[in-house]
Amino acid sequence: MNIAGEPPLIHQHPLAYLLALEGIALLRAFAGEYDRDFTLARLDEIRGLLDAAVDLGDRATVAPIAPEEGYRSWADFYDEAANQLVDLEQPVVWEILDGLPRGVALDAACGTGRHTARLASLGHTVIGVDTSAAMLGRARAKVPGGAFHAADQRGLIPGIGVPVVKARSDGSPGYMPIRTRLTSDYLAAALPLGLQVRRCEDPLRPFPLVDDGELRSATGDEDPEHDPTAPPDIWALHSLAPTATNAAYRGSPAVLILHFQLDEPATERRRSA
């Protein structure tokens, strides 16, 4: 039992994740997206996975890990080309940033400062806030003139996907909790304040996610190998069922990008209040 409000211990099993991918793929086939041969191949693959259950390794129960500790190991390579998130969201975000009038810009959850640096180059006075001291260190190096602060923003940030298991500083495993928000949650918070939606995009994950059994993970690691003695690494498991993985994740968004602007009447109402 966990204390209310705290992330719980989670139970992860490599076979369960692989069967889940197969199940989503079969649902898509059942809906007509794939043919009979695809369906039969998935059923055969499921039989093979069940037969290999012992070789895949046993379940793992892992506790939550603080974002500061989890992101520390990503800071050094988060901006590298292997991070698919850069290619997916950066062009859209920078197009939005390029159209903003110059002023004071707050980059909440600034990470390594990719967008903060862009804002500074456009003439904005920038303030960056993040949970991770390691990420903030990278951001300060990019933007020496910026003001950067450490703060907990878990109530603001959405997440899409499965909790990722990371190694703690002592080598023990822990998972990064994910807080998912619906698009409607953002609209419900923004519209009553007079914010108008100027743009909404949700770039999709690359397809195929797994190519010829080889994988480049979203966090920069290339071709990970499944270790049956360690807690499951979903990026390594994908290569064990590449066709099902591609079918399961096809058409799923990797990130949500919303551009809000405060309308002038609302601004005037606030000034007069």
pTM, two decimal places: 0.81
pLDDT digits (tens, 9 = 90+) for 19-69: 999 999 999 999 999 999 999 999 999 999 999 999 999 988 989 888 788
Whether the CB-CB separation of 207 and 255 falls below 8 Å is answered with no
Q: How far apart are CA 40 and CA 58, in angstroms?
A: 27
Structure tokens at 171: 């080598």
204 bridge partner residues:
253
- At 195 the pLDDT is 95
- Closest C-alpha to 14, from 254, 268, 225, 252: 225
- At 20 the pLDDT is 97
Instruction: Delimit the domains of the chain by residue range.
Output: 1-64+208-252, 65-174, 181-203+253-273
Alpha helices, DSSP H, located in the chain:
14-30, 36-51, 53-56, 67-72, 84-98, 114-121, 133-142, 183-190, 234-238, 242-249, 264-272
Higher pLDDT, 216 or 195: 195
Whether the CB-CB separation of 97 and 118 falls below 8 Å is answered with yes
- At 90 the pLDDT is 93
pLDDT digits (tens, 9 = 90+) for 227-240: 998 888 888 899 99
- At 168 the pLDDT is 81
Confidence of residue 81 (pLDDT cuts 50, 70, 90): low
Q: Mean per-residue pLDDT for 100-106?
A: 96
Please determine, for residue 174, whether its predicted confidence score (pLDDT) is greater than 90. no
Q: How far apart are CA 107 and CA 142, in angstroms?
A: 14
Work out the percent of the chain whose per-residue pLDDT is above 70: 86
For 65-174, CATH gives: 3.40.50.150
CB-CB neighbours of 138 under 10 Å:
19
Confidence of residue 221 (pLDDT cuts 50, 70, 90): very low
CA geometry: angle at 174 spanning 141 and 13, to 5°?
135
Report the interhelical angle of 133-142 vs 114-121 (nearest 10°).
30
Backbone phi and psi for residue 56, each to the nearest 5 degrees, phi listed first: -75, -20
Higher pLDDT, 46 or 265: 46
Per DSSP, the three-state class of 171 is coil
DSSP category for residue 126? E
Q: Mean per-residue pLDDT for 254-264?
A: 90
Q: What is the amino acid identity at position 126? A: V
Confidence of residue 166 (pLDDT cuts 50, 70, 90): confident
